[in-house]
Structure 1
Amino acid sequence: MRVPLGLVEWDALSLVEAGEHRPLIERRAVLRGGFYETQARTMIERVPPVAGIAQQWGISPYRGCAHACRGCGARAGHRRLGLDAGRDFDTRIVVKANAVPRLRAELERFDGAPVAVGLSGDCYQEAERTYRLMPGVVAALRDAGVPFTVYTKSSLVLRDAELLAAAGARVAVSIAFVDERIRRAVEPGAPGAQARLELVAALVEAGVACRVLMAPVLPLLSDAADQLGATVRRIAASGAGGVEAIVLRLPPATRAWYLTWLRRAHPALAERYEELYDPAGLPSPGYEQRILGQIEQLCRDYHLAFGAPAPPPPPAPKAAQLALV
């Protein structure tokens, strides 16, 4: 019999005692303090096109995220570990304990393309308070001359503001909407919008290049003209350097989890979502273009840059090349 999560404190023995097959991650990791500690084989990974961001390469010290955002596109990764893409993704966080040395080794042969940090789980979620992996990750990227953007919702990023500024890092704070009722429903473990707006202002004041990732825009829930307008207006007041916007993506694992919630909370919308999304999880091009066009116009109205920033110049060679003659 399965032990319901949330009713008892889970530990490494509960699944076995319940007579269930042990997930793959339990054979590869050590459970310590509620986190799965594992040794990563690879740190630099391809970003799937469905993510909708500019970078093609990503680095994630953590897999899974306590922010529990229902529309998070990284949920499928937990299935490959023998965990589920729903509740397990929110509560069973995998820590890549060797992230820094593994990353430094891979950067020795990396081509220096821009990378995104924190896609498989917020790199400044609560686990980072315990493991403090990010200062080493930032230093490794800085030393390798690799341009990078940190994606986060957490004010813990301020701890490393000086290091991030010195490394020339960009930070993208995710603020998809400013309606707290929606946030409590779809991002139950994340800070509120006001806290994130204040985070943007604090990062800008600390000299960190900071933009807002207005994502994900939720069809039929946060896409009304007045909702988009209120969000862009408050982003502009925060001092953000610009806005990138992404309409909700629903790759298969995320789709199952999100639509289960949607059918319970907003049953009248479920059929419309089925019509709006293709099998890969991408929204209808016409709908997406309309929403992004509205946000782009709002950004013009509030004098905000819109879209992904221009890529930084290629890093300088690590050492001068010797003349052959």
Structure 2
Amino acid sequence: MRWSGQELGVEQVDTLPGLARLNNLVRSVQTPDFAGVTFHEVLAKSALNKVPGQSAMPFGWTINPYRGCSHACVYCFARPTHTYLDLDAGDDFDRQIIVKVNVADVLRTELAKPAWRHEPVALGTNTDPYQRAEGRYSLMPGIIDALTTSGTPFSILTKGTLLRRDLPQLADAATRVPVDLAMSIAVYDHDLQQSVEPGTPSTKARLATVAAVRDAGLDCAIFLMPILPYLTDTRAHLDEALRQAKAAGATSVLYTALHLRGGVKPWFMQWLEREHPELVPKYRSMYYGTNAYAPKAYRRWLGERIRPLIRAHGLERGREDPVTGGVRSAAPPTRLPTRLPDALGLPPDPSALF
């Protein structure tokens, strides 16, 4: 798509169906550096997303500078969010990336409002803020600065090694506000990792990033999430994963079993049928019908297997909160009144990302 002729406030007749309805689309960009990927640059109306009050998440707000993710993890629970724009949860999620180019400026405005109470904010709970697109758009330095300057504690969960670029800024931020960092590293078999997470940095590269975080004087947890039944749940794999995590300097490890919500399950099962057809009957039995969670008996078995290993490697983290994508902030989590989104001028529905 040509960059010219994409005016704000009008329907974009030559773009994808869902995006055509947006009146905040600036332009759609393709570049040889990102073969097969299209970036749709939009002007965000809000940066902060309110977590529903009934949620078990240990934070009240999130920020998602991108929508869609070129990491292309076949198990990613955020895939269904792309259907809001009439994009599919499969290839489109991996290749049609929404970029909120003004997110840092919008965030500064929201954080400056008197109603803002400096509740912990989490990044990386939906799509990865350090996916490859961040190398092009550099949105995170502005976001980190806005949060730090406003005195807002924050946490970052990522698979992206580009986190290393911002370590000096994050180390400075940690002297002014509570900052929690975590690296998501679920698979320690190279071939399997490249198959199930084809767009991510290698496990080795992510472990090196954990070491770099520690060298910068910051703690870094590892999210061993998700654990894949019959693929990464053997005692040998878990023990080796924890050994490598400890060697990299990880301060703790959190885990949870694979979660397959609607919209993710078909995409994951296509991959499983192609790569591990012998496991399809077992997965259909575990994740039957609309069931998104591994059976309680399996989760109990997994806990009994991995918890002693976590203790043995010295990677416990007090009271665990193994929620996929959730990072516990060093600041005490508090809940805001339900009317606060209106006071901040924000949409009450966290799915209203634009």
TM range (shorter): 0.7 to 0.9
Which residue number corresponds to residue 160 of structure 2?
A: 154
Is contact 1:262-1:269 (8 Å) kept? yes
Comparing 145-154 with 237-246, which one deviates more in the overlay?
A: 145-154
Is contact 1:153-1:196 (8 Å) kept? yes
* CA deviation map 1:269-291 (0-9, x unaligned): 22322222362512212212322
Normalised by the length of structure 2, the TM-score is 0.78
Do the aligned partners of residues 283 and 48 (structure 1) sit closer, same or farther apart at CA in structure 2, a change above 3 Å counting?
A: farther
Counterpart amino acid of 2:302? I
* CA deviation map 1:280-323 (0-9, x unaligned): 512212212322332221111011124348652459xxxxxxxx
Which residue number corresponds to residue 300 of structure 1?
A: 311
- Is 1:312 matched with 2:330? yes
Supply the distance in 2 between the matched residues of 1:299 and 1:151 (Cα, whole angstroms).
20
Is contact 2:225-2:255 (8 Å) kept? yes
Supply the distance in 2 between the matched residues of 1:48 and 1:186 (Cα, whole angstroms).
30
Supply the distance in 1 between the matched residues of 2:247 and 2:292 (Cα, whole angstroms).
33
Which residue number corresponds to residue 122 of structure 2?
A: 116
Is contact 2:228-2:258 (8 Å) kept? yes
Mapping for residues 59-70 of structure 1, pairs under 5 Å? 59-70=63-74
Do the aligned partners of residues 281 and 51 (structure 1) sit closer, same or farther apart at CA in structure 2, a change above 3 Å counting?
A: farther
Do the aligned partners of residues 286 and 113 (structure 1) sit closer, same or farther apart at CA in structure 2, a change above 3 Å counting?
A: farther
Mapping for residues 1-325 of structure 1, pairs under 5 Å? 11=1, 22-28=16-22, 29=25, 30-33=27-30, 34-46=38-50, 54-107=58-111, 108=113, 109-168=115-174, 169-277=179-287, 279=290, 281-306=292-317, 307-308=320-321, 311-313=329-331
Superposed displacement of residue 40, structure 1: 1.9
Supply the distance in 2 between the matched residues of 1:162 and 1:202 (Cα, whole angstroms).
11
Is contact 2:180-2:328 (8 Å) kept? no
Is contact 2:238-2:306 (8 Å) kept? yes
| Equivalent pairs, count | 300
Supply the distance in 1 between the matched residues of 2:135 and 2:261 (Cα, whole angstroms).
30
Supply the distance in 1 between the matched residues of 2:246 and 2:192 (Cα, whole angstroms).
21
* CA deviation map 1:89-117 (0-9, x unaligned): 11111101121122223333344332220
Do the aligned partners of residues 110 and 254 (structure 1) sit closer, same or farther apart at CA in structure 2, a change above 3 Å counting?
A: farther
Mind listing any 5+ residue stretches in structure 2 that lack a counterpart? 4-12, 31-37, 322-326, 334-354
Counterpart amino acid of 2:165? R
Matched residue of 1:156: which SS?
Answer: helix
* CA deviation map 1:159-184 (0-9, x unaligned): 11011122222211011121011101
Supply the distance in 2 between the matched residues of 1:242 and 1:87 (Cα, whole angstroms).
34
Superposed displacement of residue 264, structure 1: 2.2
Comparing 235-244 with 98-107, which one deviates more in the overlay?
A: 98-107
Normalised by the length of structure 1, the TM-score is 0.84
Do the aligned partners of residues 51 and 203 (structure 1) sit closer, same or farther apart at CA in structure 2, a change above 3 Å counting?
A: farther
Do the aligned partners of residues 238 and 141 (structure 1) sit closer, same or farther apart at CA in structure 2, a change above 3 Å counting?
A: same
Is contact 1:39-1:97 (8 Å) kept? yes
Supply the distance in 2 between the matched residues of 1:234 and 1:25 (Cα, whole angstroms).
43
Superposed displacement of residue 48, structure 1: 7.7
Comparing 226-235 with 297-306, which one deviates more in the overlay?
A: 297-306
Supply the distance in 1 between the matched residues of 2:293 and 2:245 (Cα, whole angstroms).
26
Which residue number corresponds to residue 8 of structure 1?
A: none
Matched residue of 2:44: which SS?
Answer: coil
Is contact 2:58-2:328 (8 Å) kept? no
Counterpart amino acid of 1:291? L
Which residue number corresponds to residue 7 of structure 1?
A: none
Bigger relative contact order (CA 8 A; separation at least 6):
2
Supply the distance in 2 between the matched residues of 1:27 and 1:256 (Cα, whole angstroms).
27
Supply the distance in 2 between the matched residues of 1:122 and 1:162 (Cα, whole angstroms).
20
Comparing 237-246 with 47-56, which one deviates more in the overlay?
A: 47-56
Do the aligned partners of residues 21 and 211 (structure 1) sit closer, same or farther apart at CA in structure 2, a change above 3 Å counting?
A: closer
* CA deviation map 1:136-191 (0-9, x unaligned): 11111112322221111111111110111222222110111210111011001111
Aligned-residue Cα RMSD (Å) equals: 2.6
Supply the distance in 1 between the matched residues of 2:116 and 2:228 (Cα, whole angstroms).
36
